[in-house]
Every structure is written in structure tokens, then in C-alpha cells.
Chains A and B, each alone.
Chain A
Amino acid sequence: MNLRKVLIFAIAALAAVLLAFALVKGVRLFTGTTSAPGGAVVATAGAAIGGPLTLTDSGGKRVTDADFRGRYVLIYFGYTFCPDVCPTELQAMGRALDLLGPAGEKIVPVFISVDPARDTPETLGKYVRAFHPRMIGLSGSDDDIARAAKAFRVYYRLGRPSAPGAKDYLVDHTSFIYLMGPDGKLAVLLRGGAGAEAIAQGIRSVLP
């Protein structure tokens, strides 16, 4: 057997494998998780996040995920007693929508409370409008919230108040921003704390 021929064949085969691998990886990089400045994107379409939810808006109306079909919806789960992170994220979301210009006008910003005992649907309305005029605040029964949180894989845990019966407990919670597509499925998952520009970039990267 001609050793040289075998060697050339082996190298060619190896090169082909490496090229194929690089192409597949490269394609994945282009269509998968693009890195926004500050790296806000955590996952894109395909993640099993989202699902049926039934909550109450600040007018007392029952809202379901079906009501959002056909729209892009930008969702944050938090609570209004939180003085630091939640206002910061909501402000960043509102600002991100403004940065997106006409594309942002098609997106519905939604704040879902993980603290329905203090965040009644009525009190949420005024709160969310401080961050964006179109932002919708949703709350409901403990059960409504638990189901919504489960659909979005949101973890939340009420802490202990300073004294029995005091209403000053804090709430630990996961901090992500979810962009749901017109089909009701996750379009992009963004991590909290990334800032308005990174959120806008993450959204822009998946809008048609």
C-alpha cells in the first residue's frame, strides 16, 4: 500500500471533518445565541419556557396568554416592594423599547408580580406606568401566580417580615426578561442586570 496516498487521504478526511464541524458550529453561532453588548442573551427560541397563564390586570380583567397571541410581549417577574432590582429592570425594559423605535412600539411590556398579597392588580397599574406608558401589570391569586411562575420557570420565595404580621418581607426571585413571540413561544431569554442597550440589542437580534 502506498503510505503517502494513505497519509494524504487521512489528512484530507481529517480536514473535511474539521471543516464540517466548524461549519456546523459557525452556523450555530450565527443563528443561536448572538452575544449582545454586555451579553444579555441567555437562550433563544426553542427553550421550553412559557405556557398557559391566567392573571388579572389593573382594571380587574382576566388576561390569558391567548390574549397576547399575535404580539411580541416582553415580560419581567418581580415585586413592587423591591426598591432596587425590580425598578432598575423595569426602567431598563422601558428604555430598551424606546431605543428600538418603531419596532419597540409593537412590543407589549408586562410586569407580573410574584407577591400578590401586597401587589394587588389595582396597585400595579400606577406602578408600571411610571416605567413605560404601555406597560401592563398583572397579578392574581396565589394560585394564578404559582402557575404563571411554573410556566416560565420562575423561582420565588417570600422572606421573613421584621416582626410577625409586618408587611415588610423581601422576596428572592429569578431575574430574567422574557420576549415571547406572536406564536406564544419564547423568542429570546435575556438575563437581568444587563441594561437597556443590551436588552434592545437582544430583542433586535430576533425581531424579523
Chain B
Amino acid sequence: MRFRSFFGAAVFALAFVPAVSAHDYSKGKMVVDHPWARATIGTARPGVVYLALINEGKVADKLLSAATPVAARVEIHRSFMEGNVMRMAPVDGVEVAAGRTVEFAPGGLHLMLMGLNKELAAGDRVSLTLVFEKAGRIQAKVTVMPMGAGAHGGGMKH
């Protein structure tokens, strides 16, 4: 094999590495790490997406909104305890400070997929677009895990 074509082939192959590394998506200094969802039964109930936002830059950024073709709208929510009562409230944007990671994990921040038009089946890879104030739009693929799956990727923090 001639060097030129081997080198060319290698560069060509490397171009696909981001696409096949499969679990994190980045733009500029913002990384969306390991987005995952729980499977649903049908479309009557909302979907949930968890992930980590990693700001590798020197300037704070903010997640403003998200969208997906499989749901009418995506809302950012936070579960929190008020005394002994578990509550959930929409959140108007999530800041990620410079050099910090913000986890969206069970019991805390999460994305709610409202008005599903398609059941989320375990094994599916669902498109999700996240819109950041500075980084702009980041396209990610969310891995759908079985309903009974425990925390994926980053895991539950205690």
C-alpha cells in the first residue's frame, strides 16, 4: 500500500471517530456527555433525559432550551424535596460555570419530553438538540435504556 493512500485512508477514517465515539457531543468548549433516556410504554407519559454538561472553557455558558423530533416540546425540570414532599418544577435555563460540570441525574435536574409522538424503546437512539447561549446548538443522540435501568454513565451521586 502506498503511503499516500494509506495516510489518506487513515485521515478519512479518523473523520468518523467523533460520530462513532457515540456518547459525547461537543461544540466549542461545551460537551454534552452520555445523554440517556428511560424507555416508555406508549406515548401517554412524558420521556426523561439525563446527561452531563461539561464546560471546558473559561467563560460560563447557559443551556437555554432543547428540542427533539420525537416530542412536541422539551422542558428543563428539577426534582427537589420541600420538607418531606417531592416536587418538580420547570427551570428557566441552566448555567454551567467555566470549568464546571452540571449533572442532570435521577432525583435532580432532568429534561422532560412532553407530548411524545413515538414510544421510546430500549435500544433506540433519539435525536436531541440542545441550545446554549454561547455554544449555540449541539446535536446529540440519546441512548434509550430499559425502564428498569439504574443510573447510566455518571450515575447517581450521594
A87-B147, A118-B44, A168-B46 provided; 11 other pairs, C-beta below 8 A?
A83-B46, A84-B107, A84-B112, A88-B106, A94-B148, A127-B41, A162-B114, A172-B88, A173-B85, A192-B86, A193-B107
Mask: chain B, 145-158; 1 = CB below 8 Å from A; 0 = not = 01111100000101
* Secondary structure type dominating chain A contacts: loop
Question: Shortest CB–CB separation between residue B95 and chain A, in angstroms?
Answer: 21
In the complex the two chains form, what is the Cα distance from A155 to B112 in whole Å? 24
Residues of B within 8 A of A168 (CB): 46, 114-115
Instruction: Give the A-binding residues of B (Cβ under 8 A).
Output: 38-39, 41, 44-48, 77, 79, 81-82, 84-88, 106-107, 110, 112, 114-115, 146-150, 156, 158
Interface size bracket, A side: 35 or more
Task: Flag if A175 contacts B106 (CB, 8 Å).
Answer: no
Residues of A within 8 A of B45 (CB): 80-81, 83
Task: Flag if B84 contacts A155 (CB, 8 Å).
Answer: yes
Residues of A within 8 A of B156 (CB): 88, 195
Question: Is A200 at the interface (CB under 8 A from chain B)?
Answer: no
Residues of A within 8 A of B114 (CB): 162, 168
Partner of A196, one of B82, B112, B150: B150
Residues of B within 8 A of A172 (CB): 82, 85-88
Given contacts A195-B158, A196-B150, contact A83 B107 (CB under 8 A): no
